[in-house]
Amino acid sequence: MRNLHDLSGMLFGKLTVLRLATGPRKGVRYWSCRCVCGKSHTVRTAVLINGHTTQCTACSYKARCEKRCKDLTGRTFGRLVVLGAAPSRKRARWWSCSCSCGKSVERSTASLTSGKARSCGCLRIDNWRKVVSSRFRNPRKHALPAAGDVMGRFTVLSVILGNPAPLFIVRCECCSKEYTYREDKLRRLSGRASGVCPACLRRSVTVVLLESMVGKTYSNLKVTGISGDLRLVCACACGNEVLRARSALMRKADAWQGCKACRAAIITGNNVRNRKCDVGSRYGMLTVVSRDLSGRVVCLCDCGASSTVHVGNLSSGDTRSCGCMMFRKGPEHPNWDPELSDEDRERNRVRAWKGVRSRVYSRDDYTCQACGERAGTLNAHHIRSWKLHPADRFRMWNAITLCSCCHKEFHAAHGHDRRGDDTLNWKHFAEWLRSSRERHGYKPT
């Protein structure tokens, strides 16, 4: 890069160069400058020398606005005379104006030039006074409604003399509701053929549409009447009476229609027929005695008690007794395994196993070795079976850290080796562990 002169202290327009600065582009020299308005600005050497930049961004924008906006001082807009410029607001130029009534206001350039602002507000009041005076000159044509007058089905209760137009509080004789209208809207509503408020008009139209649907049949529902809240009273084929909105019947005209009881019977009947829960079937300690379409069956427990159970709870295995199983312990429990020793049953309570489990978690950095999830609910899985290899139960090389999800996934795929034939050997676990790491993209360090 060629050697440039030092520009420190030099003046370029409104900018005074202070010192050399750093910029975004490499190989280009930048200078830190101060504008006459007090703001700092960083400028390249080229734009300073060729005179392209002579002021900061704020001063440049202000100069463009002043050049674009014409000076309106002394001009008259309606009753407003522009006295001078006012402080700008939201990048718009405002002017101080004096009204012919003596008030001083501020208006923007757009409102003055477009004709929107023609006074301080006194012009609108004077125009309304002219309208009111014309009413008194021709009272039959321009008479204001008074309290007690009846206009269509509206009764005027009171008049609020507002600025610039009065408001009328009226009551509809159909719905007895009170409304507040301007004079033009009140005359427009009362001049209708019906002469009622919009709410009553909508209600009358809705009643006509609902009356046309009385007597029609939609699937299992037959329309018999209209309720007070403008809904259709329908009689179901089973004898029940239901309320339906007009939109619900029209939207689902080709679909099945019926009461909740009929719909629940159909859905429950389909679910029950799809589940195999025949009389005489056995689920745990329960034997099915009878069943119906409501989704419940009567079962007899081995203890002699009778209970009513839902079909879903039986088929899923959630319910296996009348409740007596929770009070049975030891050999009386149906899941009792006589081949297990006391040590096997209390393995989680053995102090030696708790110590080994803690050391296994620490060795694996509390991370699942199958998916890489850290912390959470962890399990110390035995690679060689706890039941078939009692000598290796408390050896650290025989245990590995797995999260609860991966632990359940492995045993769901390969079982729990309760038959004692060593189906869960280390080869099966090694294959599953390799596939799980590939699936989750986990590479242990």
DSSP per residue, 147-172: TT-EETTEEEEEEE--SSS-EEEEEE
SS3 221: strand
Higher pLDDT, 37 or 88: 37
Same domain, 397 and 432: yes
The stretch 379-385 carries a mean pLDDT of 86
Same domain, 87 and 102: yes
In the chain, the percentage of residues whose pLDDT exceeds 90 is 6
Residues 6+ apart with CB under 8 A from 2: none
pLDDT digits (tens, 9 = 90+) for 397-410: 889 999 988 888 88
Kindly report the number of other CB atoms within 10 A of residue 95's CB atom: 24
Same domain, 362 and 292: no
User: Tokens representing 224?
Assistant: 């018999």
Confirm whether 177 is domain-assigned: no
Instruction: Report the distance separating Cα 235 and Cα 272, nearest Å.
Output: 27
Same domain, 29 and 104: no
Instruction: Report the distance separating Cα 249 and Cα 234, nearest Å.
Output: 10
Instruction: Report the distance separating Cα 200 and Cα 191, nearest Å.
Output: 15
What pLDDT does residue 344 have? Answer: 64
Which DSSP category does 186 fall into?
H
Asked if residue 197 lies in contact with residue 177, where contact means CB atoms within 8 angstroms, the answer is: yes
Same domain, 403 and 390: yes
Same domain, 26 and 106: no
Cα distances from 49 to residues 12, 13, 166, in angstroms, run: 8, 11, 69
Same domain, 94 and 25: no
Confirm whether 47 is domain-assigned: yes
Measure the CA angle with vertex 253, ends 252 and 258; round to 5°: 75
Asked if residue 214 lies in contact with residue 201, where contact means CB atoms within 8 angstroms, the answer is: no
The stretch 291-306 carries a mean pLDDT of 80
pLDDT digits (tens, 9 = 90+) for 189-244: 777 655 667 777 777 778 888 888 888 888 778 888 888 788 889 888 888 888 88
The stretch 371-379 carries a mean pLDDT of 84
Confirm whether 151 is domain-assigned: no
DSSP E strands: which ranges in 147-275?
150-151, 154-160, 167-172, 178-182, 217-218, 221-226, 232-236, 241-244
Confirm whether 181 is domain-assigned: no
What pLDDT does residue 1 have? Answer: 39
CA of residue 220 relative to chain centroid, distance? 37
Same domain, 19 and 75: no
User: Tokens representing 206?
Assistant: 């809705």
What pLDDT does residue 390 have? Answer: 78
Same domain, 33 and 113: no
Greatest mean pLDDT range, 97-101, 173-177, 186-190, 373-377: 97-101
Q: What is the mean pLDDT of the chain?
A: 79
Single out the residue in 45, 66, 87 at which a domain terminates.
Answer: 66
Confirm whether 288 is domain-assigned: yes
Asked if residue 372 lies in contact with residue 440, where contact means CB atoms within 8 angstroms, the answer is: yes
Confirm whether 352 is domain-assigned: yes
Per-residue pLDDT band for 3 (boundaries 50, 70, 90) equals very low
Q: Is the pLDDT of residue 132 over 70?
A: no
Nearest to 382 by CA among 420, 350, 341, 429: 429
Confirm whether 183 is domain-assigned: no
Which DSSP category does 5 fall into?
P
Residue 367's DSSP bridge partners are 374
Same domain, 402 and 436: yes
Q: What are phi and psi of 225, to 5 degrees?
A: -175, -170
The stretch 270-290 carries a mean pLDDT of 72
The stretch 364-368 carries a mean pLDDT of 90
pLDDT digits (tens, 9 = 90+) for 36-63: 888 888 988 888 888 888 888 888 887 7
Q: What are phi and psi of 434, to 5 degrees?
A: -65, -45
Higher pLDDT, 88 or 12: 12
Instruction: Classify strands 178-182 and 286-291 as parallel, antiparallel or unpaired.
Output: unpaired
Q: Is the pLDDT of residue 31 over 80?
A: yes
Higher pLDDT, 190 or 20: 20
Q: Is the pLDDT of residue 273 over 50?
A: no
Same domain, 295 and 359: no
SS3 272: helix
Nearest to 101 by CA among 83, 116, 79, 117: 79
| Region of poorest pLDDT, from 261-265, 297-301, 317-321 | 261-265
Same domain, 304 and 367: no
Q: Is the pLDDT of residue 394 over 90?
A: no
Residues 6+ apart with CB under 8 A from 38: none
| Region of poorest pLDDT, from 105-114, 176-185, 416-425 | 416-425
Which DSSP category does 367 fall into?
B
pLDDT digits (tens, 9 = 90+) for 134-171: 554 444 455 677 788 888 788 888 888 765 677 888 88
Q: Which residue range is the domain that position 53 belongs to?
A: 11-66
| Region of poorest pLDDT, from 20-24, 122-126, 130-134 | 130-134
Asked if residue 412 lies in contact with residue 429, where contact means CB atoms within 8 angstroms, the answer is: no
What pLDDT does residue 2 have? Answer: 42
Q: How many domains does the chain have?
A: 4
Confirm whether 118 is domain-assigned: yes
What is the pTM (predicted TM-score) of this model? 0.29
